[in-house]
């Protein structure tokens, strides 16, 4: 993977436990797509009478769960499709997929020191100008994945990791028609 001139691609960097917020904004290539207040409102809507709210950190620093991501995508007329990691990514109809959100584990850091604990972390993968990028908010800048073929290899490698889960971000129409998947005669 090569580095990228970061002026071409929108990339939010990690602050607090806001990786879900950063992944959403990186998917939509828009720093104003979502903010902490909007995600907190979604949490409140999902669990209106529950304290503490089960969809975010008790400390109010983020750590939003998949339910918040799915509800946020719906506000943008999109859906999240959970990809079964037993399937081959070559079955994906890439032109109909807006981007990907990966949930994986990441070490907890105190300053520059990795602690022996891991937490869940959300990462966006997205195509911009015919090139796929890893837009992990913990990276200092976007990292080029490359062509569609290179993305499929990247996804295959990720699927081999026990801690890796993949969401496809698609329009509501693509979700309803299941055209995120190649038809069986194309396989």
Q: Residues with catalytic annotation?
A: 19, 121
How far is CA 155 from its chain centroid? 13
Residues forming beta bridges with residue 102, ordered by sequence position = 123, 166
Look at residues 42, 40, 9, 3 and name the one whose alpha carbon lies nearest to residue 25. 9
Look at residues 44, 2, 14 and name the one whose alpha carbon lies nearest to residue 121. 14
**Residues found in the chain:** 187
Count of CB atoms situated within 10 Å of the CB of 90 = 13
- Please count the CA atoms within 13 angstroms of the CA of 54 that sit on its side-chain side: 6
């Amino acid at each position: 993977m090569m580095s990228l001139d970061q002026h071409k691609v929108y990339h939010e960097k990690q602050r607090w436990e806001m990786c879900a917020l950063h992944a959403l904004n990186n998917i939509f290539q828009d720093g104003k797509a979502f903010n902490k207040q909007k995600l907190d409102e979604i949490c409140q809507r999902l669990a209106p009478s529950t304290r503490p709210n089960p969809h975010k950190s008790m400390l109010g620093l983020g750590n939003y769960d998949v339910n918040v991501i799915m509800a946020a995508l719906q506000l943008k007329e999109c859906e999240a499709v959970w990809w079964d990691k037993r399937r081959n990514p070559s079955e994906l109809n890439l032109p109909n997929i807006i981007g990907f959100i990966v949930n994986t584990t990441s070490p907890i850091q105190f300053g520059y020191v990795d602690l022996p604990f891991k937490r869940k972390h959300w990462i966006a993968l997205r195509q911009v100008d015919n090139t796929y990028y890893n837009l992990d908010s913990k990276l200092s800048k976007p990292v080029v994945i490359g062509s569609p073929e290179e993305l499929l290899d990247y996804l295959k490698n990720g699927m081999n990791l026990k801690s890796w889960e993949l969401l496809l971000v698609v329009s509501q129409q693509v979700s309803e028609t299941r055209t995120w998947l190649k038809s069986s005669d194309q396989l």
